[in-house]
A = this chain, B = another copy of it.
């Protein structure tokens, strides 16, 4: 499995959890401390830390520790590989529609001749 494939799998896996998605949405607004991120989830701190580790491993967030306070921030371009993969699928699909359309046109032309 290529590194690109591994990265994509990590990204999609990180996004597959509603708590992790809500943390990302929160961080899109502004950086936040781990304790502040934990509060609205109602989850215990170690559980939130595990979610943050998954997000960090996927490259979606970065964290900085200052003394005892850890602050998290979103990584702006981290969604790019996901978007690129979706665009690739759409391009393949659209090429297929183009071929189908060309085929239909040929059949119609032959019928009219």
Residues of A within 8 A of B (CB): 1, 5, 8-9, 12-13, 15-18, 21, 24-25, 28-30, 74, 76, 79, 82-83, 85-86, 88-90, 92-93, 96
Contacts and interface: CB of A to CB of B under 8 A. Distances in A.
Contacts of A96: 28-30
The quantity of this chain's copies bound in the complex is: 2
A5 B22 CA distance: 10
Contacts of A9: 16-18
A15 B2 CA distance: 16
B29 A92 contact: yes
19 contacts: A5-B21, A8-B15, A8-B21, A9-B16, A9-B17, A12-B12, A12-B13, A13-B13, A16-B16, A21-B85, A24-B89, A25-B92, A28-B92, A29-B92, A76-B93, A79-B90, A82-B82, A82-B86, A83-B86
